[in-house]
Amino acid sequence: MSSSDSTFEGSDKKESDNSSASNYECNICFDVARDAVVSMCGHLFCWPCIHRWMTARSGRMTCPVCKADINEDKFIPLYGRNTTDQQDPRKKVPPRPQGQRQESENTNGGGFNLGENFSMSFGIGAFPFGVFSTFNVPDRQGHYGHGHTHGPAPNQDEQFLSKVFLYVAVFFIFWLILA
């Protein structure tokens, strides 16, 4: 099956002309990063890009480049010399969906609320809400390497399990209210 493809031979220049400009490109959209932020592992993104990735993958927040753990609170905004807009880019995008912090009448404010970024706050309240906050986090690790079997989704059991937990928690809340 060997055919002579001339375009192919003699192309042993690899990523030679990586101009310095591309050092400042977002690792997701490949454009010069706007509203630039850098993760603790040193990887540069547009805030809208990395925010979208973090919201798309709830619970499994790893750096798209190096798989280090990332956290919304631990990004550093970058301001160039002529940046007129000194607003923290992280404030520009709507905060994460509200799903993870339901207010309830019988929590007394959830203890210390350290502002909008403090997402774990309701875990401190009454016990059943502690249950809520933990089982929302899927504990799937990345599957590295490859294999050749295919079948049902590997996390079906986990999904079932979290549903069971959900029902137990809901039941428990009802029980608390009725008691």
Partner 1 sequence: MERRLRKELTNLIKDPPDGIVVDPDKISQNITEWTVDVKGAEGTLYQGEKFTLQFKFGSKYPFDSPQVMFVGKHVPEHPHIYSNGHICLSILSDDWSPALSVQSICLSILSMLSSCSEKKRPPDDMFYVRTASKNPKRTQWLFHDDTV
Q: Does 81 bind partner 1 (CB under 8 A)?
A: no
> CA 58 to CA 137: how far, in whole Å?
8
- Site residues for Zn ion, 54-113, by CB under 5 A, read 63, 65-66, 68
Instruction: Select from 129, 140, 119 the least CA-distant residue to 165.
Output: 129
Q: How far is the CB of 113 from partner 1 (least distance, A)?
A: 31
Adjacent-strand bridge partners of 32: 25
Q: How far is the CB of 77 from partner 1 (least distance, A)?
A: 20
Please list, in sequence order, all residues whose beta carbon lies within 8 angstroms of the beta carbon of residue 72, skipping any fewer than 6 positions away: 51, 54, 61, 90, 96, 117, 119
User: Looking at 20, 94, 105, 144, which residue binds partner 1 (CB under 8 A)?
Assistant: 144
> CA 63 to CA 78: how far, in whole Å?
18
Applying CB under 5 A, which residues contact Zn ion?
Answer: 26, 28-29, 41, 43, 46, 49, 63, 65-66, 68
Given the rule CB under 8 A, which residues bind partner 1? 1-3, 5, 7-8, 11-17, 27-31, 43, 49, 52-53, 56, 64-65, 67, 142-154
